[in-house]
Amino acid sequence: MDEPEADDDLFTLFRSPSRQRCAEYALVLQAVGIHCRAEPLDGDFALKVRARDAGYARRQIELYAAENPERDRPRRFNPRHGVADGLNCASLYGVTILVLDLAQRHRAFGLDWWDAGRTQAGLIRAGEWWRTFTALGLHADPLHLAGNLIYGLIFGFLAGQLLGWGLAWSGLLLAGALGNLLNAFIQPAGHSSIGASTAVFATLGMLSVTAWIRHTRRLKRWAPLGAGLALLAFLGMGGENTDIFAHVAGFIAGCLMGALFGLLERRVTIRARHQTAAGVAATAVFVLAWVVAF
């Protein structure tokens, strides 16, 4: 038998609150000669394999689940990330919009953050791409900020658990910017807006489509999309000065991002370093947008 490898060389293939489920899948992998560990992790149980074996191991588990479709067993193998990933994504979101709100209100460094960062449809269509990012961090008043902070923290935490912090954070920023871009081509040239709500609803779209992709049973598969649309209607269609088109555009952009991540997840073994690279790259683009804005 091969010697166990260092933790850095192992990939968390599956997490579950059920020790029995992890042990069951471990036996499946061991039967085909794949070295694995089933061990406690953050209150759950994790099944770990060598990173180089992750793709083959995932296929073996999917085949096993398809051949044993008991009521309580998912027919598709669903990896999950941990609480730490959810907290990382939510923390990045919260800190970012709070820092930018302080900078905006106190005109940090003597700069007009509002004028430099808000979206304006005509300017975006003329090539000022950075406004699609910068507007995500600006808010009109404390109530506007509080609403986006609360819902963004909740959806960001859930997305981090589902996708990993790096993909969730990069998806939040990129889909939020794409939503602002789509909105700029819908609205008249003079239309202006600010706020993280586009990114909040983009994250909701990512969550809905990712959950949809990972379910195969017909009723359960459509439930996440239905829930996402219901939340969009409940949270994003009312209130004074609500930019409904921006919310819908953000949700659509998030759905596209979720579909992209679902395709990526099927073709590539996403390791911790990939999560870090995605998170750092998205943050760098966001910072660059503000640098260009000034």
The Cα–Cα gap between 243 and 194 comes to: 9
Does the pLDDT at position 117 exceed 60? yes
| Residue 125: band (very low, low, confident or very high) from pLDDT cuts 50, 70, 90 | very high
Q: What is the pTM of this model?
A: 0.73
Higher pLDDT, 193 or 218: 193
Higher pLDDT, 80 or 120: 120
pLDDT digits (tens, 9 = 90+) for 62-101: 888 777 755 444 444 445 677 889 999 999 999 999 999 9
Query: 83-293, superfamily in CATH?
Result: Rhomboid-like (1.20.1540.10)
Q: What is the mean pLDDT of residues 132-147?
A: 90
pLDDT digits (tens, 9 = 90+) for 14-59: 887 778 888 888 888 888 888 888 888 777 788 888 888 888 888 8
Q: Tokens in use for 54?
A: 């992750």
Q: What is the mean pLDDT of residues 184-202?
A: 90
Does the pLDDT at position 185 exceed 90? yes
Confidence at residue 90, expressed as pLDDT on a 0 to 100 scale: 94
Does the pLDDT at position 232 exceed 70? no
Does the pLDDT at position 217 exceed 70? no
Does the pLDDT at position 235 exceed 80? no
Domain 7-67 fold is Alpha-Beta Plaits (3.30.70)
The Cα–Cα gap between 34 and 265 comes to: 20
Confidence at residue 288, expressed as pLDDT on a 0 to 100 scale: 97
12 forms bridges with which residues in the sheet? 48
The Cα–Cα gap between 203 and 196 comes to: 11
Confidence at residue 72, expressed as pLDDT on a 0 to 100 scale: 45
Confidence at residue 87, expressed as pLDDT on a 0 to 100 scale: 93
Confidence at residue 42, expressed as pLDDT on a 0 to 100 scale: 72
Higher pLDDT, 142 or 43: 142
Per-residue DSSP letter, 39: E
Q: What is the mean pLDDT of residues 273-281?
A: 92
**Which range, of 184-193, 267-276, 282-291, averages the lowest pLDDT?**
267-276
Higher pLDDT, 169 or 219: 169
Cα atoms in the 13 Å half-sphere on the side-chain side of 195: 27
Output the CA torsion 100→118→237→206 (10° steps).
-60
Instruction: List the chain domain ranges.
Output: 7-67, 83-293
Q: What is the average pLDDT value for the chain, to the nearest integer? A: 83
Does the pLDDT at position 120 exceed 60? yes
Neighbouring CB atoms inside 10 A of 63's CB total 13
Does the pLDDT at position 211 exceed 70? yes
Task: Write down the H helix ranges in 47-112.
Answer: 54-67, 83-105
The Cα–Cα gap between 243 and 193 comes to: 8
